[in-house]
């Protein structure tokens, strides 16, 4: 409710033409309007509650309401699903004394919300959406400062500074983040990670509103230094159809687990060791539309997950065949591996490594130097002279560096390509300014899109 500052709720005495007369005034009658300045239209179906007393009313098709209270009210508050999903929570305004009282409650405009959440950030056309929230540990209490939050999207204009549909922000000292410049109408994919924590890749649907709130929980990763394993928890739930009947044999997947589970005769599924943090759960069954939903896997445990699948509608005489849709970046990696000119490590190899540095150690002719597991550099030999030079690093297809790799949890890496000799690398990854080798790192987030 306080995440974007005081809401723009305001109250004023009645004046000519403010609102049409709906019924005779009484000393215990409050009339008003609830307006959504983000969408620039009245907020229909909002619940308005008077305090004290608790009398309630619902806004009509024009956003208007009438409250009749047993005693004079001092404050009114409005609640609506739109207010929840934008992070505003509720609107509230004091009721001035008097028998002819009208109250208007309004959300901030998109311009005002941007100025409050994104001070100093240039607001670009078609990229005026904001995704914001908090990042906490899966213990539910610890807010994580300086965590990275990566945001990507499929469509819409790219980031002006980088030319790609992706950017990163960091959480502040109390674990809050503000990703300013996400196309509001497009689906977005968000992951958070820090040296000891990571969440899954969370998908949020495009929205007509420019504000989207997403609180994230990050699970603790395995620690090579102390040999402490990553935190896991049991996840159970039910898959049912629209009539509440169990869907038997449905396939259920959780982001971050290679294992797939199927529902039993009661529609129940169980994962014995799901990684903690915010994750995506995918449920599928023949004849039903697949459902993807976020879940928070907490260290203390969680309630059973409830999934509802909707039956697919097939037109008579239409043959529907299922095609395997391979994500673009995964297809690119497989194409490179078939060519066979480099060294390739996939998740089956990477999961046995102890750290992100250890992923690269032992690869022939790739020199890994540095003081410890979290600070390292990589070099390859140069045939034209005696010596070595720093490798060219690419992350998910874009130019990067070892500094970014050092901050990337090993558990988020899906595959690695190493080309000790630059001429063997794919043409698009051969820089013209040097002759050093090439390392390409692919994350699990990229391979799932």
The tens digit of pLDDT for each residue in 416-430 reads 999 998 888 887 888
Q: Which pLDDT value is given to residue 3?
A: 45
| Per-residue buried b or exposed e for 58-96, using 16+ beta carbons within 10 Å of the residue's own CB | ebeeebbbebebeebbeebbbbbebbebbbbbbbbbebe
Report the share of the chain in percent with pLDDT over 90. 42
Which residue do the tokens 């990050």 mark?
218
User: Mean pLDDT across the stretch 358-365?
Assistant: 91
**Quick one: average pLDDT of 328-333?**
78
Say if residue 178's pLDDT is above 50: yes
- Is the confidence at residue 357, as pLDDT, over 80? yes
Give the list of residues 6+ apart from residue 446 with CB closer than 8 angstroms, or none: 327, 329, 330, 396, 397, 414
Total H helices, total E strands in the chain: 7, 34
Strands 398-399 and 176-182: unpaired
Q: What structural domains and CATH numbers belong to the chain?
A: 9-108 (2.60.40.1120), 119-220 (2.60.40.10), 232-311 (2.60.40.1120), 328-447 (2.170.130.10)
User: Which neighbouring-strand residues pair with 289?
Assistant: 310
State yes or no: pLDDT of 402 exceeds 50: yes
Highest mean pLDDT among 212-216, 324-328, 346-350 belongs to: 212-216
- With cut-offs at 50, 70 and 90, classify the pLDDT of residue 225: low
> Residue 274: which of 304, 216, 232, 219 has the closest Cα?
232
In the chain, the N- to C-terminal Cα span, in Å, equals 33
Write the CB contacts of 15 (distance below 8 Å, at least 6 apart in sequence): none
> How many angstroms separate the CA atoms of 157 and 159, rounded?
7
CB 318 within 8 A of CB 308: no
E strand spans, 96-194: 101-106, 129-137, 148-153, 166-170, 176-182, 188-194
Residues contacting residue 367 through CB under 8 Å, at least 6 positions apart: 378, 379, 380, 388
Backbone angles phi, psi at 195, to 5 degrees: -55, -30
Predicted confidence band of residue 321 (pLDDT cuts 50, 70, 90): very low
The CA distances from residue 7 to 56, 116, 180, 254, 321, in Å, are 20, 11, 20, 37, 51
For residues 106 and 328, the model is more confident at: 106
Within a 10 A sphere around the Cβ of 349, how many other Cβ atoms? Answer: 12
Task: Say which residue the tokens 């974007």 belong to.
Answer: 4
Nearest residue to 183 via CA among 149, 135, 151: 151
Count of positions (residues) in the chain? 449
The answer to whether residue 222 scores a pLDDT higher than 50 is yes
Q: Are 376 and 368 in contact (CB under 8 A)?
A: yes
Which of these, 250, 174, 144, lies nearest to 3 by C-alpha position? 174
- Whether residue 219 contacts residue 231, with contact meaning beta carbons closer than 8 Å, is answered with yes
- For residue range 33-51, list pLDDT tens digits in order: 999 999 999 999 999 998 8
**159-179: average pLDDT:** 87
Q: CA-to-CA distance for 207 and 197, rounded, in angstroms? A: 29
124: how many CB neighbours lie within 10 A of its CB? 13
Indicate the burial class of 171 (C-beta count within 10 angstroms; 0-12, 13-18, 19 or more): buried
261-297: pLDDT as tens digits: 999 999 999 999 999 999 989 888 888 888 889 999 9
**The predicted structure's pLDDT at residue 17:** 44
Quick check: 188 pLDDT over 90?
no
Average confidence (pLDDT) over 225-234? 81
Confidence of residue 449 (pLDDT cuts 50, 70, 90): low
**DSSP string over 263-324:** --TTSEEEEEEEESEEEEEEEE-TTEE-EEEEEEE-TT--PPEEEEEEEPP--TT-------
In the predicted model, what is the mean pLDDT of the chain?
Answer: 84
Q: Are 216 and 202 in contact (CB under 8 A)?
A: yes
Q: What is the mean pLDDT of residues 364-381?
A: 86
């Amino acid at each position: 409710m306080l995440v974007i500052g005081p809401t723009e709720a305001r109250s004023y005495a009645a004046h000519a033409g403010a609102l049409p007369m709906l019924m005779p005034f009484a000393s215990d009658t409050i009339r008003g309007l609830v307006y959504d300045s983000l969408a620039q239209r009245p907020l229909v179906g909002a619940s308005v509650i008077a305090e004290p007393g608790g009398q309630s009313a619902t806004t009509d098709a024009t956003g208007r309401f009438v409250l009749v209270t047993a005693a004079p009210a001092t404050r009114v508050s409005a609640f609506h699903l739109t207010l929840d999903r934008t992070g505003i929570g509720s609107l509230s305004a004091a009721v001035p004394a008097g028998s002819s009282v009208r109250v208007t409650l309004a959300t901030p405009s998109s311009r005002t919300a941007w100025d409050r959440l994104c001070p100093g950030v240039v607001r670009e056309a078609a990229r005026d959406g904001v995704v914001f929230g908090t990042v906490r540990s899966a213990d539910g209490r610890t807010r994580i400062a300086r965590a990275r939050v990566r945001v990507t999207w499929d469509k819409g204009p790219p980031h002006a500074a980088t030319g790609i549909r992706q950017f990163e922000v960091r959480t502040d000292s109390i674990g809050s983040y503000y990703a300013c410049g996400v196309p509001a109408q497009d689906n977005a994919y968000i992951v958070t990670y820090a040296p000891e924590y990571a969440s899954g890749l969370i998908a949020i649907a495009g929205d007509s509103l420019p504000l989207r709130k997403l609180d994230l929980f990050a699970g603790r990763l395995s620690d090579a230094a102390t040999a402490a394993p990553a935190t896991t928890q049991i996840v159970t739930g039910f898959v049912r159809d629209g009539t509440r009947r169990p869907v038997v044999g449905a396939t259920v997947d959780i982001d971050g687990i290679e294992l797939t589970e199927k529902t039993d005769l009661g529609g129940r599924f169980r994962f014995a060791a799901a990684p903690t943090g915010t994750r995506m759960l995918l449920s599928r069954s023949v004849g039903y539309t697949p459902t993807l939903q976020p879940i928070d896997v907490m260290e203390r445990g969680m309630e059973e997950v409830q999934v509802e699948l909707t039956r697919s509608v097939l037109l008579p005489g239409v043959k529907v065949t299922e095609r395997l849709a391979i994500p673009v970046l995964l297809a690119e990696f497989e194409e490179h591996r078939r060519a066979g000119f480099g060294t390739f490590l996939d998740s089956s190899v990477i999961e046995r490594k102890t750290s992100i540095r250890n992923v690269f150690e032992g690869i022939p002719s790739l020199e890994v130097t540095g003081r410890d597991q979290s600070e390292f550099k990589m070099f390859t030999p140069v045939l034209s002279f005696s010596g070595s030079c720093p490798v060219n690093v690419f992350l998910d297809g874009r130019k990067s560096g070892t500094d970014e790799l050092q901050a990337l949890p090993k558990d988020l890496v899906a595959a690695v390509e190493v080309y000790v000799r630059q001429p063997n690398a794919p043409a698009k990854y051969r820089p013209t300014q040097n002759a050093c080798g090439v390392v390409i790192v692919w994350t699990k987030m990229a391979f799932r899109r």
